Amino acid sequence: MKLRKGAICPIHRSQYCCGREKDKEKEFARGWATGPGVTRIPDAHHLRGYRERRSPAAMRRLLDLKIQMQNGKCSICHKPMNDYREIVPDHIEPRGLGGSRRDDHADNIGAAHSTCNVEKGSKRI
């Protein structure tokens, strides 16, 4: 994923890393509020009784939080993540196996290298 202008990198805790250059404009850091963008879908077959779908902005906020929770390590290979541009959300219960029943709940998402996630594909680890 790509960091937005003014966003602080959760790995390096800087606005000027991962391919971004320093701007002369003053930039503001975004908060960690969950905010809108999360939709709960009732599902009687799910353990929680609902599934969640996240907008791209809500997924980005969750991914930033997951990077911090995982201490900057990939959820698949457990190696350090060095570049935010190479980090993608990894569905622990794969979307490919769930089809239309995909779940973007925080418990089902982990931060991973894009290459590790592509290699994993629609498998459960």
Q: Tell me the CB-side half-sphere exposure of residue 45, using CA atoms within 13 A.
A: 4
pLDDT in tens, 28-63: 333 333 457 888 888 888 888 888 888 998 999 999
Q: How many CB atoms lie within 10 A of CB 42?
A: 8
Please choose, from the candidates 57, 111, 54, the residue with its C-alpha nearest in 3D space to the C-alpha of residue 84: 111
Those residues whose C-beta lies under 8 Å from the C-beta of residue 88, and which sit 6 or more positions away, are: 1, 63, 111, 112, 113, 114, 117
pLDDT in tens, 79-103: 999 999 999 999 888 866 655 567 8
